[in-house]
Amino acid sequence: MKCRDILIKGKAKSVYTTDTKTKLIIEFRDDITAFDGGKKDVLKKKGRYNAEVSAFFFEYLEKNGVKTHFLTMIDPHHMVVRKLEMIPLEVIVRNIAAGSIVRNYPFEEGELLDPPLIVIDYKDDARHDPMLNDEIILALKIVTPAELKKIKKVARDVNRLLSALLSAQGITLVDFKIEFGRKGKTICLGDEISMDSMRLWDKKTGESLDKDVYRFDKGDVMAIYDKVAKRITKPVKKK
Ligand code: 5GP
C-alpha cells in the first residue's frame, strides 16, 4: 500500500489517502513540538519510536477487546489505519496529578487520583484546546450522550489495560491523551498512543520517560525514547 494525497499535516504526523477508500496511512515524522508549538525540533528516529509503541499498544488493546483504527505497519514510520470520522475531543485520563491539572487546580504534583480523573479538551489549536464539560460537549453536539458514555468507558478500559502492562515493566502510567473516531456507528480509538501523548514515570527512580524530558530539558530525549520503546515492546521476562 502507498501514500496518495496528503489529507492533513499535523505537528508531528501526516495523514495520507491510499488507493483504498476505507484506509489511510499515518506518517510518524521526526518532528517534536511542545507548548502549543512554541518549542520545536526535528529529532532523528523520533517518529519510529512513537510509531512502534503506538502499534504495540493498539495491537494489545485490540486483543483485549478495544476497537482501534490500527491495521498494520508498512515500514517503521508508516502505519495503515481504518479511516474514521474523527471526533474533535482530547480525552485525558489522569492517575496521578501532573502537568496542567497541577498548574490550574490545587492538586499536589504526584498526588494519587483515585478514581482516575477523566478530563476532556476541545481539540482546536486556534482556541488552545480548552477544557470542556459534559454539558458543553452535548450542547455543541460533538457526540451523543450514548457516545460520550461509551468514550468514557473505553478511556477507563484503556487506562486499566495500559496501567497493568506498563506496571509489569516498572513504569507508572501517570496520565495520557487519546482520541476517538466513528467507523459507521462504532466508536474506535484513533490517533496515537506514544511517549508524546503519555506521562510515564520510572517506578523506582521517578524519572520521566516521556515528552516531559523534551518539554523541560530533563536529558537526552531520544536516548530515553529508545530505552522506553524497547522496555515497552520487548520486555525482558523476570525469572
Ligand atoms: P497536560 O494537560 O497535563 O498538559 O497533559 C495531560 C496528558 O495528555 C499528558 O500525557 C500529555 O502528553 C497529553 N496531552 C495533552 N494534550 C495533548 C496534545 O495536544 N497532544 C498530545 N500528543 N498529547 C497531549
CB neighbours of 64 closer than 8 A, spacing ≥ 6? 157, 161
Residue keyed to cell 502549543: 36
Helix (H, G, I), strand (E, B) or coil at 9: strand
What is the pLDDT, as a whole number, of residue 235?
A: 78
In short, whether 13's Cβ falls inside 6 Å of ligand 1 is: no
pLDDT grade, residue 239 (50/70/90)? low
Is pTM beyond 0.85 here?
yes
Helix axes 46-63, 221-233, angle to 10 degrees: 30
Nearest-atom index, ligand 1, CA of 194: 22
The rounded Å distance from CA 17 to ligand 1 centre is 27
> CA 8, 14, 18, 22 torsion: positive or negative?
negative
User: Residue 98: which of 188, 194, 173 has the closest Cα?
Assistant: 173
pLDDT grade, residue 234 (50/70/90)? confident
Query: How does 177-200 read in b/e, with b if 16+ C-beta sit within 10 Å?
Result: bbbbbeeeeebbbbbbbbbbbbbb
Does the structure show a pLDDT above 90 at 11?
yes
The rounded Å distance from CA 177 to ligand 1 centre is 6
- Stretch 222-229: mean pLDDT, rounded? 98
Residue 137 grid coordinates: 460537549
The rounded Å distance from CA 199 to ligand 1 centre is 8
The rounded Å distance from CA 237 to ligand 1 centre is 30
Nearest alpha carbon, ligand 1 atom 11: 197
Mean pLDDT of the chain: 97
Nearest alpha carbon, ligand 1 atom 23: 197
Contact between 99 and 152 (Cβ < 8 Å): no
Contact between 165 and 60 (Cβ < 8 Å): yes
Nearest-atom index, ligand 1, CA of 103: 3
In short, whether 198's Cβ falls inside 6 Å of ligand 1 is: yes
- What does the CA dihedral 209, 128, 13, 63 come to, rounded to 10 degrees? 60
pLDDT grade, residue 238 (50/70/90)? low
Question: What kind and span of H or E run contains 13?
Answer: strand 13-17
Nearest-atom index, ligand 1, CA of 196: 22
In short, whether 78's Cβ falls inside 6 Å of ligand 1 is: no
Does the structure show a pLDDT above 80 at 236?
no
